Chain A
Amino acid sequence: MKINNVILRTVAKLVSFIILTLAVYLFLSGHHSPGGGFIGGLVLASAFVLLFIVYDIETIRTALPFDFKKVAAFGALLSVGTGFGALLFGEEFLSQTFDYFDLPFFGETELATVMLFEAGVALAVVGVVVTIILSISEDV
């Protein structure tokens, strides 16, 4: 069954970029306002899910040639790895730190190691959600 869904596709193209931007914003702003790794990852995954629904899986597979299982595994590894990273500096497992840096273009910016941890969380969420949805949709 092929239905003509030009409008849907056009809108989806636009909307998915808005969602992607939102995802990045949510991820970056997580330390001070609502957002963070989990939500950022989930929003990112929902952008992919939208694309998967509007287009067929094969098209998106070629456009996004990631193995999402590996993305998930890498995310989990990154989260655990940052925990061990603290050990190398003689700190406790998983302890985080932060400081303020004067970066060009951004001005004074706060950089926190928790960002790496959260990135791991986000990647794990994206990987797991997309893996589940893909494997269920390929099953039927």
Chain B
Amino acid sequence: MTTLIIAIIFPFIAAAIIPFLYKYVRRIHVGWFALVVSTGLFIYFSQFIPTIANGDVITITLNWIPSYGINITSYLDGLSLTFSLLISGVGALVILYSIYYLSSKESLGHFYTYLMLFMGAMLGVVTSDNMLVLYVFWELTSISSFLLIAFWYQRKRSRDGAKKSLLITVTGGIAMLVGFIMVGQMSGTWSIREVIGNVNLFNNHYLFIAAMILVLVGAFTKSAQFPFHIWLPDAMEAPTPVSAYLHSATMVKAGIYLVARFTPVFGGESIWFWAVTGVGLFTLFWGSFNAVRQTDLKALLAYSTISQLGMIMSMFGIGSAALNLGYSTESVAFTSASFAALFHLVNHSTFKGALFMVVGIVDHSVGTRDIRRLGGLITLMPVTFSIALIGSLSMAGLPPLNGFLSKEMFFMAVVNISEAEFFALETWGILLPIIAWVASVFTFVYSMILVIKTFLGPYQEEKLEHPAHEPKPGMLVSPIILALLVIGIFFFPNIIGKNLITPAMAGIFPNLAAEGAELSESIYAWHGFEPELFMTIGVVLFGLALFFTKRYWVGVYKLFPQKWSFNVFYSFMLDQVEEKSTGFTNAYMTQNLRDYLVYIYLFFIIAIGGILIYTEAYQFELPTNAAISNFELITALAMMSAAIAILFAKSRLTAILLNSILGFGVAIFFVLFRAPDLALTQTIVESVTTVLFLAAYYFLPEWKKEDTPKKTRGTNLVISICVGVVFTVIALMVQSGKTFESISKFFEDSYELAGGKNMVNAILGDFRALDTMLEVIVLLIAGLGVYIFIKLKNNNKEGEQYEDK
């Protein structure tokens, strides 16, 4: 069953191959290759549907760092499978669409590489059982989405949008990592399944609430929940296929996945319930309220996504209440909210994906997305109009479209929970259906705006960049498939309900499922004259009224002062950080090497010397293990005299050569102490640096004897003596202090364990290869750093032309 691991690695392999394909196979659009990869993955994951629907789960473990319990465990249950199918399926449709959307003049190699990286990272997030592995993939989604949002990096707005999303989501990711570490410490395992199994042992731990909040911060930042939602509208600077993929179907849903996955751990606590439900409901309201006033179609969809994500989030919050009550008929009733959440998750991916693609088509066709300039496209783009109508009506929650079903279930859930008698719902519960209903009215209004302002009304050709026309047929295939799904799911909702959502429910409520609770629901379009139906009718009536009277009340937005928005706060913080850090850096970067050395040495003396004194580790006995030979004595004396002579050197060349005496002296000591490896390395490093020195020598400025004031000289003298003392003490202390058993015995087995007679190399390559690997990476970064600093200085003038004015 290792095919599952290969499937998750597959997009990464594709990402590595695509640049070469792009370079050498010019006749075929490289997107087709990516399409094959994602379609293949979709088919691969589809074959698990029957197995998973049977209630089986698939687990595969690869050892990564077993000594810390960190292993790459792929875990495929209903929840993972639902997300995997969305990721690969919507991914395939988006790629098909993008083949026609992006012109071949764009750097497509980069585009599909990033997209494949992103797809692999998302699959990794939803299938990882190990929390730390999940975190690694999680941050990889942040990074790859950063690259995708900044795809048109020549534009300042793209760069800013990408930076904003990266800053916010990575900050959340780090908070989540801290939360994961707390959970790991409390439960003693990194495996989510084991954490869920042990949750009763540690849910009274004093860190439990802190861990919950930190994990939630990660989920909320990724899913663009209030007040972290501000990055999502700016991320719309990305090419439209990216928006359709990242911001409707995948990345933003990683946060939702996290909440669903951790519901069995944290759910049932009132803080979790109120945080998830409250933040979700408020985001639902705030997103839909703000979407109404947008004039850019993509911005409208961005706010609409924010609000829909809030809705899904709040439903998971409501569903988690079931865990508080244990197994009873009443508690199982609340789980239907989670069922609705999963169902809406799938529905949202279909209709929002289609709508994003429609907006992309409109943008492509007429060159603008501004609804003040659009209108009357219905006769010119009838197919696009039909797709937009289906998507929008589904978003508004009207029959016969899938959005209606999940919206009804949502209303049912909020009405149900408002009557519950725990978590202070007796007092505040009534607010839930009210907020949900008001937000749905706004949802209806902006859905109407999307269709009516774009496709109806007068056609104003003079305001458009190109005359409107239907796009190439290939561009319509993906949105048509999604639109057909929107209708198809309405008529046959239980196919998804039985095969995907019911097993996913077992993943969210494993304990309830184990007790035999009925977590499955049958979805009906018609379920009698229940409150939710009247709520929907109310939404339509009020929505229509609000839509036609929009110009009278649109001034409401002006009541909310712009300067208090979180966007302003974000820019203010960013400016402040930049300003303060520039000021601080300028204050200590004096462009004088001597000052920098003083900082380094002062830090060294205070940190190391301080620790030595604090821990009383400065005591030592003079070692007496071996007599000092004459040869060693002479070398030491030579080195000492060279060191002293540097102080009095008259020319730079003398100083360089004297300095290399020190280096070669150390090498001689290595030879004397029978460390040929170190001696060899030291000699070569010393030669290369001396050569480097001498190569640069010719170009160095005149050697000037600096006239430093007496006071500075005194300070320097004190510092240098302190450094010398600290170093000497360390060297002596290392000899005598034996706090731990020496580990050198272990390495004596190097020939048996690693097949190497050279113990040093066996340590470097076999026993402690991780250190060596990281050193290589450090070396690489240092080299690139030097290269970039020097090139940047030379290219600064050329670089300016890329900046937008």
Interface residues of A, Cβ cutoff 8 Å to B: 26, 30-39, 42-43, 45-46, 49-50, 53, 69, 72-73, 75-76, 79-80, 83, 87, 90-94, 96, 98, 110, 112, 114, 117-118, 120-121, 124-125, 127-129, 131-133, 135-140
Decide yes or no: A87 and B761 within 8 Å by CB, A92-B65, A124-B779, A124-B780 being known contacts. Answer: no
Tell me the minimal C-beta distance from B299 to chain A in angstroms.
39
Contacts of A83 in B (CB 8 A): 769-770, 773
Decide yes or no: A128 and B63 within 8 Å by CB, A53-B691, A140-B696 being known contacts. Answer: no
Complex: how many Å from CA A96 to CA B756? 12
Complex: how many Å from CA A45 to CA B794? 25
9 A-B residue pairs with CB within 8 Å: A38-B764, A75-B780, A79-B773, A117-B772, A117-B773, A132-B783, A135-B791, A138-B790, A139-B794
CB interface residues, B 679-703, toward A, < 8 Å: 680-681, 684-685, 687-688, 691-692, 695-696, 699
Tell me the minimal C-beta distance from B729 to chain A in angstroms.
30
B782 within 8 A of A: yes
B754 within 8 A of A: yes
Q: How many interface contacts (CB-CB < 8 Å) are there between A and B? A: 158
Contact between chains at B769 and A96 (CB < 8 Å): yes
Decide yes or no: A114 and B691 within 8 Å by CB, A87-B63, A135-B787 being known contacts. Answer: no
Tell me the minimal C-beta distance from B317 to chain A in angstroms.
38
Contact between chains at B783 and A49 (CB < 8 Å): no
Contact of B758 among A30, A76, A121, A131 (CB under 8 A): A30
Decide yes or no: A32 and B787 within 8 Å by CB, A76-B777, A92-B63, A120-B776 being known contacts. Answer: no
Q: What 7 pairs across the A-B complex have the smallest Cβ distances?
A: A128-B783, A98-B755, A114-B765, A32-B757, A34-B676, A140-B699, A31-B756
Contacts of A69 in B (CB 8 A): 783-784, 787
Contact between chains at A136 and B761 (CB < 8 Å): no
Contact between chains at A127 and B783 (CB < 8 Å): yes
CB interface residues, B 640-697, toward A, < 8 Å: 676-677, 680-681, 684-685, 687-688, 691-692, 695-696
Q: Is the interface of B mostly helix, strand, loop or mixed?
A: helix
Contacts of A131 in B (CB 8 A): 783-784, 786-787
Complex: how many Å from CA A133 to CA B695? 9
Contact between chains at A93 and B63 (CB < 8 Å): yes
Contacts of A132 in B (CB 8 A): 783, 786-787
B8 within 8 A of A: no
- B772-801 interface mask toward A, CB cutoff 8 Å, 1 = contact, 0 = none? 110011011011101100110110000000
Apart from A36-B677, A127-B780: 8 A-B pairs, beta carbons within 8 A: A34-B758, A36-B764, A42-B681, A72-B780, A76-B777, A92-B66, A128-B779, A139-B794
Chain B interface extent, by class: 35 or more
Complex: how many Å from CA A127 to CA B64? 29
Contact between chains at A42 and B677 (CB < 8 Å): no
Decide yes or no: A135 and B790 within 8 Å by CB, A36-B677, A69-B784, A128-B780 being known contacts. Answer: yes
Tell me the minimal C-beta distance from A95 to chain B in angstroms.
8
Contact between chains at A39 and B677 (CB < 8 Å): yes
Decide yes or no: A112 and B72 within 8 Å by CB, A34-B677, A140-B699 being known contacts. Answer: no
Complex: how many Å from CA A22 to CA B626? 35
Decide yes or no: A98 and B754 within 8 Å by CB, A37-B765, A76-B776 being known contacts. Answer: yes
Complex: how many Å from CA A11 to CA B790? 32
B62 within 8 A of A: yes
Contacts of A33 in B (CB 8 A): 676, 757-758
Contacts of B691 in A (CB 8 A): 46, 49-50, 53
Closest to B756 in A: A31
Complex: how many Å from CA A80 to CA B772? 10
Contacts of A53 in B (CB 8 A): 691, 695
Closest to A98 in B: B755
B766 within 8 A of A: yes
Decide yes or no: A32 and B756 within 8 Å by CB, A121-B772, A124-B779 being known contacts. Answer: yes
Contact between chains at A73 and B684 (CB < 8 Å): no
Contact between chains at A91 and B757 (CB < 8 Å): no
